[in-house]
Amino acid sequence: MMIVHPTSLSDTLDSAAEIIFNQKTILPSQRSDLAAMLTSRQIQSEPNSGYFLPFTSESGTQATLFTGEPLHNEFASHNIQLIEAARLLVLIAIDDPDSVRSIRLADRRMNMLCYSSFCAKGECKSLTIAYMRYLIASKTEAAAIRLDQLLTKLAAYRDGKGKWQGFPFYYTLLMLSESKSHEAANEIEYSASFFNRLRKQEWSKERFSNRCQSIQHRIISRREQDAYPLLLGEYG
């Protein structure tokens, strides 16, 4: 599977994210190529330092979340690529000055924006979940503390039916499935009331449907194996 798409930042981000999601190996040479491509697209100077520039050929292309939900406004489109690129750079762990500088620059930009402290307005809901995935990937003590704070705020938006008011359901579940925190376990247990109704859902062969189906299977499997009660005991 091609990872780096020479004329598409969005396709590159999506391809790399899918490989990681499917727990496949990215070879060292591929990681280096990916890091080089991402860092070459980053804006280094103000007023937009930290952001990653899409290619001209991507003009007019609608941004989507990994689980397929579309993003309609320009702010969300730019920031989902910022967050996803930073997350990938963290995950592929290329220890070179350009990558380290790029992550630091992206992190500084994200910390200036509303979703880094939780924002439940419009498409910032999706960006908040994306930022939480970035924190999970970061695996630092400071990131874990902030993640728990954001998860606590997410719980306040429960709709009483197993979902969260206005937050993208499968994308939120994806984020929760990546975290082993006590708060994430609580939210997964909360989602069971809605999730159980989806067990017999028919899925298409389309890639976003495949991803959502995989997320559903992962969540169900972890719950049925009593993984989350164990986590509650370990992290409580």
d(CA 162, CA 186): 11
User: Which of 5-19, 194-208, 221-235 shows the highest mean pLDDT?
Assistant: 5-19
Question: Comparing C-alpha atoms, which of 34, 139, 23 is closest to residue 92?
Answer: 34
Tokens 């429960």, residue located: 158
What average pLDDT does range 196-201 have in this prediction? Answer: 66
Reported as a pLDDT band with limits 50, 70 and 90, residue 64 is very high
Has residue 222 been placed in a domain? no
Q: Does some domain include residue 179?
A: no
- pLDDT classification of 61: cutoffs 50, 70, 90: confident
| pLDDT at residue 231 greater than cutoff 60 | no
> What is the arithmetic mean of pLDDT over 92-120?
96
Nearest to 1 by CA among 9, 22, 205: 22
Tokens of 189: 């247990």
Question: In this structure, is residue 82 part of a structural domain?
Answer: yes
Q: What is the mean pLDDT of residues 52-71?
A: 93
- Average per-residue pLDDT in the chain? 90
Q: Is residue 1 part of a domain?
A: yes
Residue 171: inside a domain: no
Residue 158 belongs to some domain of the structure: no
Confidence check: pLDDT of 94 > 90:
no
In this predicted structure, what is the pLDDT of residue 15? 96
Number of domains the chain contains: 1
Residue 54's CB is within 10 A of a number of other CB atoms, namely 19
* Predicted pLDDT of residue 192: 84
pLDDT digits (tens, 9 = 90+) for 125-177: 999 999 999 999 999 999 999 999 999 999 999 999 999 999 999 999 999 99
Kindly state whether residue 42 falls inside one of the protein's structural domains: yes
For residue 78, tell me if it sits in a domain: yes
Percentage above 70 pLDDT, the chain: 90
Give the separation between CA 194 and CA 214, rounded to whole angstroms.
Answer: 17
Instruction: Check residue 207 and give its pLDDT.
Output: 85
Whole-angstrom Cα distance, residue 201 to residue 31?
Answer: 36
Angstrom distance (rounded) from CA 192 to CA 77 = 31
Residues in the chain, overall count: 236
Beta-carbon contacts of residue 174 (< 8 Å; ≥ 6 apart): 66, 67, 133, 215
**What whole-number distance in Å separates Cα of residue 227 and Cα of residue 183?**
14
What pTM, to 2 d.p., does this model score?
0.91
Give yes or no for residue 75 having a pLDDT over 70: yes
* Cα 88 to Cα 190: distance, rounded to the nearest angstrom: 29
Token duo for residue 140: 């630092």
d(CA 94, CA 34): 10
In this predicted structure, which of 115-119, 121-125, 194-198 has the lowest mean pLDDT?
194-198
H helix runs in the chain, sequence order = 9-21, 28-40, 74-92, 97-110, 124-138, 141-155, 169-177, 182-195, 207-224, 227-235
pLDDT above 70 for 217: yes
Tokens linked to 224: 């049925």
Q: Please, which pLDDT band fits residue 235 given cuts at 50, 70 and 90?
A: very low
3-class DSSP assignment, residue 71: strand
Short-list 18, 14, 114, 115, CA closest to 63: 14
Structural domain for 105, as ranges: 1-112
Distance CA 63, CA 219 (A): 26
